[in-house]
Amino acid sequence: MPVVVGIDSSTTACKVQVRDADTGAVVASGRAAHPPTSPPRSEQHPRHWESAFRTACAQAGVPERHRPAAVAVAAQQHGLVVLGGDGDVLRPAKLWNDTESARDAEALVAALPGGAAAWAAACGSVPLPSFTIAKLAWLRRCEPATFERTASVLLPHDWLTLRLTGRQTTDRGDASGTGYWSPREGRYRVDLLELVDASRAWEPLLPEVVSPHEAAGEWNGAVVAPGTGDNMAAALGLGLRAGDLALSMGTSGTASTVSDEPSADPSGYVAGFADATGRFLPLVCTLNATKVTDAVARLLGADPSRFDELALREPAGAEGVVLVPHFDGERTPNRPGATGTLSGLRSDVTPARLARAAVEGVVCNLLAGADALGPTAGRVFLVGGASHSAAYRRVVADLTGREVVVPDEPELVAAGAAVQAAAVLLGQDFDAVSKAWRLGRGQTVQPDRAVDAPAIRAAFANASAWADR
C-alpha cells in the first residue's frame, strides 16, 4: 500500500503523520519541539524547524521504515524567512505572532490611497503586524543592511519545501497571507511591495506559486506536494465544505469557512485568504480565547475539570453577568489597548456565575467575528483546546443554535497536509480524498433550544460597545 506523509510545522513543534494513501489510516507519527518564543519579539531560526522535522521523521520511521510515495508540508502562516544570494538564511525568521511590526502595518495601510478598503480590494485583507509585508517593512526600517542583502523572501512552509526539493515554491493558500498576493486575481501584487521599497525589483525575490494539484518537486523519490499554511491544511483535515463553519479556540480563536468566491472586508475583520484547493477561506481571528478562561479559573482556584463543573452548574446567561474578554487587547474588534470588562455584578455573584460568564464571553466574542463571514448554513466544527471542555462544547452549541461536531482527529493540520499529498499523488479531487478517508467525523453536541441565544449575544454586544467608549 502506498503511504503519504503530512507535516505540521507549527510555532511550538513539528508533527509528522504517516497515512495509508487509500484509506487515510494513520500508520505512524512523530513529534519534536521548536524553541519557545516570547512576543512581542517572536523569532525562530529555520534550522530548528529542519532539525525538528528530521527528529519527528525518525520517530515515525520515515523514510527508513516507511518510505512515502508523497509528502506535503503545512506550517504556521505569515512569517518571514529571508535568504541571501548564496541561499543561506540571513537572520532568524519573524513569526506570525511577532508584533514588532505594528507601526509598519499601520504605515502601510495609510500609504495606499484609499487605505483599508483599497488594501482589502487589492489582496483580500488589511495588513496586520502578523502579515509578511509588514515584517518586510520592519526589516527595511530596523535592519537595512539585511534588507539590502535579501535575495529571496519565503514563508515557513516555503523554506521547508525548499529544503526537500531545492525549488523555491509556495501555494495560493499560504501566499494569500502575505499581504502582496491577490486571491481574486491569482497573482502577486508587486505594486503593494513597492510601498515597502519602490527601488527593489521584487519579482525575482518571490517563490513560484504552484497550482493545487501540481508537484513542487521530489524528496527521496517521493512526490512533494505544494504544501500550504496551517489554517488551509486544517480545513483539508476537517474535510471543510462550502458553508461549513470551523471554530478553533486555543489561546487565541479563529472562525473560518470555505467559499467559492473571494472576500474583501474593508473593516479588516475578515482576512480574505485563499484555500489550498482553488477555493477561498475567509477567516476571522481573535486574540482572546481559552487563556481568558484559564485566567478566571486561576482566580477561582479551580482546575480545568472543576472550572467546567462550575460553568455548567450555572444556567445560560449567567443571570446577567457579562464578561468582555479583551484581556490582552483584541484584534477583532481592533482594540489593541483594551482590557477585560465585567458587568452585571450583584452581591449574590457566585464562582459558578463568573465561570459561566467567562465561557460565554469568549464564545460570544468569536461568534461576533464569525458573523462577518456571512451566512454559514453547513456543519459547525469546534476544534482546539476548547473542544476538550464540556462547558465550551455546551455553550458553542447553545449560542449557535446548531449541532456542533467535535472531530475525532486530534492533528488536523498534519492530516490536511497528508490529504494534499494523497490528492497530488493519486490525481484525485481533494473532496474525494476527504470522503474516502471519512474526515470530519466526531462527537456531536445538540443545542438546548430553550436557551435564548439572541438575548445572550445581544447582552454581550451591548457590554462590548460600552467597553469601547
Give the model confidence (pLDDT) of 17-33 as tens digits: 999 999 999 999 999 99
Domains and CATH numbers, the chain: 3-231 (3.30.420.40)
What is the residue-averaged pLDDT of the chain?
96
Task: Give the per-residue pLDDT at 306.
Answer: 98
> Does the pLDDT value for residue 7 go beyond 90?
yes
Strands (E), 129-221: 152-154, 169-171, 181-182, 187-188, 208-210, 217-219
pLDDT band for 40, please (50, 70, 90 cuts). Answer: confident
Q: Are strands 380-383 and 404-407 parallel, antiparallel or unpaired?
A: parallel
Is 149:142 a contact under the CB 8 Å cutoff? no
CA–CA gap between residue 16 and residue 3 (Å, rounded): 13
Residues 6+ apart with CB under 8 A from 263: 124, 270, 272, 280, 282, 373, 374
Residue with cell 469601547: 468
Task: Give the per-residue pLDDT at 246.
Answer: 97
Is 239:418 a contact under the CB 8 Å cutoff? no
pLDDT band for 330, please (50, 70, 90 cuts). Answer: confident
Q: Which one-letter DSSP state was computed for residue 330?
A: B
pLDDT in tens, 177-197: 999 999 999 999 999 999 999
Of 158, 171, 174, 230, the catalytic one is: 230
Is 415:17 a contact under the CB 8 Å cutoff? yes
> Does the pLDDT value for residue 336 go beyond 80?
no
pLDDT band for 469, please (50, 70, 90 cuts). Answer: low
Task: Give the per-residue pLDDT at 456.
Answer: 98
Active site residue 371: no
Is 262:190 a contact under the CB 8 Å cutoff? no
Helix, strand or coil, per DSSP, at residue 10: coil
Residues 6+ apart with CB under 8 A from 25: 19
pLDDT in tens, 212-227: 999 999 999 999 999 9
Task: Give the per-residue pLDDT at 1.
Answer: 76
Radius of gyration of the chain (CA): 22
Closest Cα to residue 385, out of 249, 288, 294, 284?
249
pLDDT band for 467, please (50, 70, 90 cuts). Answer: confident
CA-CA-CA-CA dihedral for 287, 289, 293, 295, to nearest 10: -20
Q: Residue 129 burial (CB < 10 Å; 0-12/13-18/19+)?
A: buried
Q: Are strands 222-224 and 13-20 parallel, antiparallel or unpaired?
A: unpaired
Q: How many CB atoms lie within 10 A of CB 384?
A: 21
Q: How far is CA 453 from CA 262, 318, 323, 342, 397, in A?
A: 30, 12, 16, 19, 10
Mean pLDDT for 168-176 is 98
Residue type, 206: L
Closest Cα to residue 221, out of 1, 14, 32, 425?
425
Answer yes or no: pTM beyond 0.85.
yes
